[in-house]
Amino acid sequence: MGCQAFALQRLHRPWHCKRSRSARCLLSAPRRRRADISLRRLRLVHLFYCRGNEEKNGHLKKLENAGERLHLFKADLFDYEGLCAAFAGCTGVLHIASPVPGTLKFDDPQTEILDPAIKGTRNVLNACLEVKVKKVVVVSSMVSAMLNPEWPQGLEMDESCWADVEYCKTNERWYALSKTLAEREALEYAKKVGLNVVTICPSGTIGPMLQSTVNANLDGRSDGTKKTDDAERAVVDVRDLANAIVLLYEKQESEGRYICSSYSLMTREFVAKVQNIFPDYDYPKNFTEPNNAERAIFNTKKLLNLGWNYRPLEETIVDSIKNYEEADFF
Protein backbone atom coordinates (compact mmCIF):
# COMPACT_ATOMS: atom_id res chain seq x y z
CA MET A 1 0.00 0.00 0.00
CA GLY A 2 1.14 3.55 -0.66
CA CYS A 3 0.63 4.65 2.92
CA GLN A 4 2.76 7.30 4.56
CA ALA A 5 2.75 9.13 7.88
CA PHE A 6 4.12 12.13 9.66
CA ALA A 7 4.81 12.58 13.36
CA LEU A 8 4.32 16.25 14.08
CA GLN A 9 5.47 18.63 16.79
CA ARG A 10 4.02 22.11 17.15
CA LEU A 11 6.01 25.33 17.13
CA HIS A 12 3.60 26.87 19.62
CA ARG A 13 1.55 25.56 22.52
CA PRO A 14 -0.81 22.80 21.38
CA TRP A 15 -4.57 22.66 21.77
CA HIS A 16 -4.58 20.83 25.09
CA CYS A 17 -2.25 23.45 26.65
CA LYS A 18 0.73 21.22 27.30
CA ARG A 19 4.10 22.52 26.26
CA SER A 20 5.33 22.08 22.69
CA ARG A 21 7.51 19.06 23.44
CA SER A 22 4.49 16.83 22.72
CA ALA A 23 4.28 15.24 19.29
CA ARG A 24 1.70 14.56 16.62
CA CYS A 25 1.50 11.95 13.93
CA LEU A 26 0.01 12.42 10.48
CA LEU A 27 -0.73 9.43 8.27
CA SER A 28 -0.85 10.57 4.67
CA ALA A 29 0.03 10.21 1.04
CA PRO A 30 1.56 13.69 0.65
CA ARG A 31 1.08 14.21 -3.08
CA ARG A 32 1.03 17.95 -2.86
CA ARG A 33 1.32 20.72 -0.28
CA ARG A 34 0.26 19.03 2.95
CA ALA A 35 3.80 18.13 3.92
CA ASP A 36 5.01 21.62 3.00
CA ILE A 37 2.46 23.25 5.31
CA SER A 38 3.37 20.80 8.08
CA LEU A 39 7.05 21.68 7.84
CA ARG A 40 6.30 25.41 7.85
CA ARG A 41 4.14 25.18 10.97
CA LEU A 42 5.62 22.25 12.88
CA ARG A 43 8.95 21.67 14.54
CA LEU A 44 9.37 17.97 13.82
CA VAL A 45 7.87 15.77 11.11
CA HIS A 46 8.26 12.00 10.94
CA LEU A 47 7.27 10.54 7.58
CA PHE A 48 6.31 6.86 7.51
CA TYR A 49 6.19 5.05 4.17
CA CYS A 50 5.94 1.50 2.84
CA ARG A 51 8.83 -0.36 1.26
CA GLY A 52 9.43 0.53 -2.36
CA ASN A 53 8.28 4.16 -2.05
CA GLU A 54 11.66 5.73 -1.28
CA GLU A 55 11.96 7.42 -4.68
CA LYS A 56 8.41 8.79 -4.49
CA ASN A 57 9.29 10.58 -1.27
CA GLY A 58 12.49 12.20 -2.53
CA HIS A 59 10.82 15.57 -3.15
CA LEU A 60 9.95 15.88 0.53
CA LYS A 61 13.62 16.00 1.47
CA LYS A 62 13.97 19.16 -0.62
CA LEU A 63 11.36 21.11 1.34
CA GLU A 64 12.33 24.11 3.41
CA ASN A 65 13.51 23.02 6.89
CA ALA A 66 13.33 19.35 5.87
CA GLY A 67 16.94 18.73 6.92
CA GLU A 68 16.23 19.50 10.55
CA ARG A 69 12.50 18.78 10.79
CA LEU A 70 11.84 15.79 8.55
CA HIS A 71 12.68 12.22 9.49
CA LEU A 72 11.72 9.23 7.33
CA PHE A 73 10.55 5.88 8.69
CA LYS A 74 8.89 2.79 7.23
CA ALA A 75 5.46 1.63 8.36
CA ASP A 76 2.32 -0.20 7.23
CA LEU A 77 -1.33 0.38 8.10
CA PHE A 78 -1.72 -3.37 8.62
CA ASP A 79 1.15 -3.39 11.13
CA TYR A 80 -0.65 -2.63 14.39
CA GLU A 81 2.44 -2.91 16.58
CA GLY A 82 4.35 -0.65 14.21
CA LEU A 83 1.60 1.97 14.41
CA CYS A 84 1.61 1.83 18.20
CA ALA A 85 5.35 2.39 18.18
CA ALA A 86 4.98 5.28 15.74
CA PHE A 87 2.23 6.96 17.77
CA ALA A 88 3.90 6.54 21.15
CA GLY A 89 4.29 9.96 22.75
CA CYS A 90 1.99 11.64 20.21
CA THR A 91 -0.93 13.76 21.34
CA GLY A 92 -2.66 13.75 17.96
CA VAL A 93 -2.96 11.80 14.71
CA LEU A 94 -4.07 13.07 11.32
CA HIS A 95 -5.07 9.99 9.34
CA ILE A 96 -5.08 10.62 5.59
CA ALA A 97 -3.69 7.40 4.14
CA SER A 98 -6.07 5.44 1.91
CA PRO A 99 -5.60 3.73 -1.45
CA VAL A 100 -6.71 5.96 -4.32
CA PRO A 101 -7.43 3.73 -7.33
CA GLY A 102 -6.26 4.51 -10.82
CA THR A 103 -9.13 2.37 -12.09
CA LEU A 104 -12.77 1.67 -11.25
CA LYS A 105 -12.39 -2.05 -11.96
CA PHE A 106 -10.91 -4.50 -9.46
CA ASP A 107 -10.29 -8.23 -9.55
CA ASP A 108 -10.76 -8.38 -5.78
CA PRO A 109 -12.20 -5.12 -4.39
CA GLN A 110 -12.26 -6.49 -0.85
CA THR A 111 -8.51 -7.06 -0.78
CA GLU A 112 -7.44 -4.27 -3.12
CA ILE A 113 -9.37 -1.32 -1.72
CA LEU A 114 -11.89 -2.14 1.04
CA ASP A 115 -9.57 -3.85 3.51
CA PRO A 116 -6.77 -1.24 3.31
CA ALA A 117 -9.21 1.60 3.93
CA ILE A 118 -11.40 -0.01 6.58
CA LYS A 119 -8.94 -2.25 8.42
CA GLY A 120 -6.22 0.37 8.08
CA THR A 121 -8.42 3.00 9.75
CA ARG A 122 -9.42 0.48 12.41
CA ASN A 123 -5.76 -0.26 13.18
CA VAL A 124 -4.94 3.45 13.39
CA LEU A 125 -7.78 4.14 15.84
CA ASN A 126 -6.98 1.10 17.97
CA ALA A 127 -3.34 2.17 18.12
CA CYS A 128 -4.38 5.71 19.04
CA LEU A 129 -6.47 4.38 21.90
CA GLU A 130 -3.68 2.07 23.02
CA VAL A 131 -1.07 4.83 23.34
CA LYS A 132 -3.60 7.41 24.61
CA VAL A 133 -3.61 9.84 21.67
CA LYS A 134 -5.76 12.86 22.53
CA LYS A 135 -7.29 13.71 19.14
CA VAL A 136 -7.60 12.15 15.68
CA VAL A 137 -8.59 13.77 12.38
CA VAL A 138 -9.65 11.25 9.72
CA VAL A 139 -9.74 12.45 6.12
CA SER A 140 -12.60 10.84 4.22
CA SER A 141 -13.92 11.99 0.82
CA MET A 142 -16.84 13.78 -0.80
CA VAL A 143 -17.89 10.43 -2.27
CA SER A 144 -18.91 9.30 1.20
CA ALA A 145 -21.61 11.98 1.04
CA MET A 146 -22.64 12.46 -2.58
CA LEU A 147 -23.60 8.98 -3.82
CA ASN A 148 -27.10 9.01 -2.37
CA PRO A 149 -29.97 8.67 -4.89
CA GLU A 150 -32.49 9.42 -2.14
CA TRP A 151 -31.09 12.89 -1.43
CA PRO A 152 -33.48 15.57 -2.77
CA GLN A 153 -32.40 16.90 -6.18
CA GLY A 154 -30.90 20.39 -5.98
CA LEU A 155 -30.53 20.34 -2.19
CA GLU A 156 -27.01 21.10 -0.97
CA MET A 157 -25.31 18.15 0.65
CA ASP A 158 -24.16 18.75 4.21
CA GLU A 159 -22.74 16.60 6.98
CA SER A 160 -26.06 14.75 7.38
CA CYS A 161 -25.82 13.23 3.88
CA TRP A 162 -24.18 9.82 3.55
CA ALA A 163 -23.50 7.71 0.48
CA ASP A 164 -25.92 4.82 0.14
CA VAL A 165 -24.00 1.61 0.85
CA GLU A 166 -26.24 -0.62 -1.26
CA TYR A 167 -26.11 1.85 -4.15
CA CYS A 168 -22.30 1.76 -4.02
CA LYS A 169 -22.25 -2.04 -3.98
CA THR A 170 -24.77 -2.42 -6.80
CA ASN A 171 -22.93 0.07 -9.00
CA GLU A 172 -19.49 -1.22 -7.98
CA ARG A 173 -18.38 2.13 -6.61
CA TRP A 174 -15.75 0.47 -4.47
CA TYR A 175 -13.72 3.55 -3.60
CA ALA A 176 -16.85 5.36 -2.41
CA LEU A 177 -17.85 2.30 -0.43
CA SER A 178 -14.42 2.04 1.20
CA LYS A 179 -14.42 5.69 2.28
CA THR A 180 -18.02 5.55 3.51
CA LEU A 181 -17.55 2.43 5.61
CA ALA A 182 -14.21 3.59 7.00
CA GLU A 183 -15.59 6.99 8.00
CA ARG A 184 -18.74 5.55 9.57
CA GLU A 185 -16.69 3.08 11.57
CA ALA A 186 -14.32 5.82 12.73
CA LEU A 187 -17.14 7.95 14.12
CA GLU A 188 -18.98 5.00 15.67
CA TYR A 189 -15.77 3.71 17.26
CA ALA A 190 -15.05 7.15 18.68
CA LYS A 191 -18.42 7.28 20.44
CA LYS A 192 -18.03 3.74 21.73
CA VAL A 193 -14.61 4.15 23.33
CA GLY A 194 -14.55 7.90 24.02
CA LEU A 195 -11.78 8.74 21.54
CA ASN A 196 -11.85 12.30 20.18
CA VAL A 197 -12.25 11.73 16.42
CA VAL A 198 -13.18 14.33 13.79
CA THR A 199 -13.68 13.51 10.10
CA ILE A 200 -13.40 15.75 7.04
CA CYS A 201 -14.84 15.05 3.57
CA PRO A 202 -12.95 17.01 0.89
CA SER A 203 -14.12 17.38 -2.68
CA GLY A 204 -11.72 16.86 -5.59
CA THR A 205 -8.35 18.39 -4.72
CA ILE A 206 -6.57 20.59 -7.23
CA GLY A 207 -3.56 22.87 -6.98
CA PRO A 208 0.24 22.90 -7.24
CA MET A 209 2.11 19.67 -6.61
CA LEU A 210 5.36 18.94 -4.82
CA GLN A 211 6.40 15.74 -6.55
CA SER A 212 7.92 15.40 -10.00
CA THR A 213 5.58 12.65 -11.22
CA VAL A 214 2.02 12.90 -12.50
CA ASN A 215 -0.71 11.64 -10.16
CA ALA A 216 -4.29 10.52 -10.80
CA ASN A 217 -5.63 14.07 -11.00
CA LEU A 218 -3.45 14.79 -14.05
CA ASP A 219 -3.77 11.39 -15.68
CA GLY A 220 -7.00 12.58 -17.26
CA ARG A 221 -5.33 15.30 -19.32
CA SER A 222 -6.96 15.77 -22.71
CA ASP A 223 -5.43 16.49 -26.08
CA GLY A 224 -8.62 18.29 -27.09
CA THR A 225 -9.94 15.54 -29.38
CA LYS A 226 -11.62 13.13 -26.96
CA LYS A 227 -15.16 13.60 -25.70
CA THR A 228 -15.21 14.85 -22.12
CA ASP A 229 -17.91 14.31 -19.52
CA ASP A 230 -19.63 17.59 -18.74
CA ALA A 231 -20.15 16.67 -15.11
CA GLU A 232 -20.56 18.94 -12.14
CA ARG A 233 -17.28 18.97 -10.25
CA ALA A 234 -16.71 20.12 -6.71
CA VAL A 235 -13.12 21.18 -6.03
CA VAL A 236 -10.90 22.52 -3.26
CA ASP A 237 -7.33 23.80 -3.42
CA VAL A 238 -5.08 21.24 -1.72
CA ARG A 239 -3.45 24.05 0.29
CA ASP A 240 -6.84 25.12 1.64
CA LEU A 241 -7.61 21.49 2.46
CA ALA A 242 -4.34 21.17 4.37
CA ASN A 243 -5.25 24.29 6.35
CA ALA A 244 -8.68 22.81 7.09
CA ILE A 245 -7.16 19.59 8.43
CA VAL A 246 -4.86 21.50 10.75
CA LEU A 247 -7.74 23.77 11.80
CA LEU A 248 -9.86 20.79 12.82
CA TYR A 249 -6.99 19.45 14.85
CA GLU A 250 -6.26 22.75 16.58
CA LYS A 251 -9.82 23.80 17.39
CA GLN A 252 -10.97 22.25 20.64
CA GLU A 253 -14.60 22.79 19.62
CA SER A 254 -14.34 20.81 16.36
CA GLU A 255 -16.53 17.71 16.49
CA GLY A 256 -18.17 15.14 14.25
CA ARG A 257 -18.06 15.48 10.50
CA TYR A 258 -17.08 18.34 8.16
CA ILE A 259 -17.63 18.92 4.44
CA CYS A 260 -14.68 20.69 2.77
CA SER A 261 -15.30 22.14 -0.69
CA SER A 262 -14.76 25.54 -2.28
CA TYR A 263 -16.44 25.56 -5.69
CA SER A 264 -18.89 23.49 -7.73
CA LEU A 265 -18.94 23.98 -11.50
CA MET A 266 -19.51 22.05 -14.70
CA THR A 267 -16.50 20.66 -16.56
CA ARG A 268 -17.23 22.90 -19.54
CA GLU A 269 -17.27 25.95 -17.25
CA PHE A 270 -14.00 24.97 -15.59
CA VAL A 271 -12.29 24.43 -18.95
CA ALA A 272 -13.48 27.88 -20.08
CA LYS A 273 -11.96 29.49 -16.99
CA VAL A 274 -8.59 27.84 -17.54
CA GLN A 275 -8.62 28.60 -21.26
CA ASN A 276 -9.40 32.26 -20.59
CA ILE A 277 -6.22 32.56 -18.52
CA PHE A 278 -4.00 30.19 -20.52
CA PRO A 279 -5.32 30.26 -24.11
CA ASP A 280 -2.35 28.60 -25.81
CA TYR A 281 -3.06 25.01 -24.77
CA ASP A 282 -5.35 22.45 -26.39
CA TYR A 283 -8.61 22.04 -24.50
CA PRO A 284 -11.56 19.64 -24.74
CA LYS A 285 -14.00 20.75 -27.42
CA ASN A 286 -16.53 17.96 -27.31
CA PHE A 287 -18.58 17.40 -24.16
CA THR A 288 -21.19 14.84 -23.23
CA GLU A 289 -24.60 15.94 -22.04
CA PRO A 290 -24.64 16.78 -18.30
CA ASN A 291 -25.67 13.96 -15.97
CA ASN A 292 -27.73 15.37 -13.12
CA ALA A 293 -28.01 12.04 -11.33
CA GLU A 294 -24.82 12.64 -9.33
CA ARG A 295 -24.71 16.30 -8.42
CA ALA A 296 -21.82 17.81 -6.50
CA ILE A 297 -23.31 20.71 -4.55
CA PHE A 298 -21.95 20.90 -1.02
CA ASN A 299 -22.69 23.03 2.01
CA THR A 300 -19.48 23.93 3.91
CA LYS A 301 -21.10 26.27 6.42
CA LYS A 302 -20.03 24.15 9.40
CA LEU A 303 -16.34 24.37 8.43
CA LEU A 304 -16.57 28.07 7.52
CA ASN A 305 -18.12 28.83 10.90
CA LEU A 306 -15.09 27.20 12.52
CA GLY A 307 -12.85 29.81 10.85
CA TRP A 308 -11.87 28.15 7.57
CA ASN A 309 -11.55 30.15 4.36
CA TYR A 310 -10.42 29.43 0.81
CA ARG A 311 -8.67 31.25 -1.99
CA PRO A 312 -10.15 32.40 -5.33
CA LEU A 313 -10.42 29.70 -7.98
CA GLU A 314 -8.43 31.85 -10.41
CA GLU A 315 -5.48 31.86 -8.00
CA THR A 316 -5.53 28.08 -7.85
CA ILE A 317 -5.65 27.82 -11.64
CA VAL A 318 -2.71 30.19 -12.16
CA ASP A 319 -0.56 28.58 -9.45
CA SER A 320 -1.36 25.09 -10.75
CA ILE A 321 -0.63 25.68 -14.43
CA LYS A 322 2.61 27.51 -13.66
CA ASN A 323 3.62 24.66 -11.38
CA TYR A 324 2.84 22.06 -14.05
CA GLU A 325 4.79 24.06 -16.64
CA GLU A 326 7.84 24.26 -14.39
CA ALA A 327 7.62 20.51 -13.76
CA ASP A 328 7.22 19.84 -17.49
CA PHE A 329 3.98 17.90 -16.99
CA PHE A 330 2.54 19.10 -20.30
Between CA 28 and CA 35 the distance in angstroms is: 9
Q: Report yes or no on 41 lying in a domain.
A: yes
- The residues, any chain, with a CB within 8 Å of residue 231's CB and separated by 6 or more, are 266, 267, 290, 291, 294, 296
Burial of 249 (0-12, 13-18, 19+ CB in 10 A): buried
Between CA 162 and CA 180 the distance in angstroms is: 7
Q: What is the DSSP string of 84-108?
A: HHHHTTEEEEEE------S-S--S-
Residue 294, pLDDT score: 61
**Average per-residue pLDDT in the chain?**
80
Residue 138, pLDDT score: 94
Q: Report yes or no on 178 lying in a domain.
A: yes
Q: Report yes or no on 288 lying in a domain.
A: no
Between CA 259 and CA 200 the distance in angstroms is: 6
Q: Report yes or no on 274 lying in a domain.
A: no
User: For position 149, which CATH number holds?
Assistant: 3.40.50.720
Of the residues 179, 251, 273, 285, only one is catalytic, namely 179
* 3-state per-residue secondary structure call for 220-277: CCCCCCCEECCCEEEEEEHHHHHHHHHHHHHCCCCCEEEEECCEEEEHHHHHHHHHHH
141-158 tens-digit pLDDT: 999 998 998 998 888 999
Q: What is the pTM of this model?
A: 0.84
258-304 tens-digit pLDDT: 999 999 999 999 999 999 999 999 898 888 877 665 667 899 999 99
pLDDT of residue 102 exceeding 90: no
311-321 tens-digit pLDDT: 999 999 999 99
Rounded to 10°, the helix 174-193/115-130 angle is: 20
- The residues, any chain, with a CB within 8 Å of residue 176's CB and separated by 6 or more, are 141, 143, 144, 147, 163, 168
Q: Report yes or no on 285 lying in a domain.
A: no
Residue 4, pLDDT score: 35
Between CA 300 and CA 14 the distance in angstroms is: 26
Between CA 293 and CA 153 the distance in angstroms is: 8
Number of domains present in the structure of the chain: 1
Beta-sheet strands, E only, within the chain: 4-10, 23-27, 42-49, 70-74, 90-95, 135-139, 197-202, 204-206, 227-228, 232-237, 256-260, 263-266, 286-287
List the domain range (segments joined by +) for residue 173: 4-213+237-261+298-314
Q: Report yes or no on 146 lying in a domain.
A: yes
Q: Report yes or no on 135 lying in a domain.
A: yes
Other C-beta atoms closer than 10 Å to the C-beta of 67 total 9
Please tell me what DSSP assigns to residue 209: -
Q: Report yes or no on 52 lying in a domain.
A: yes
* Residue 27: alpha-carbon gap to chain centroid: 11
Does the annotation mark 179 as catalytic? yes
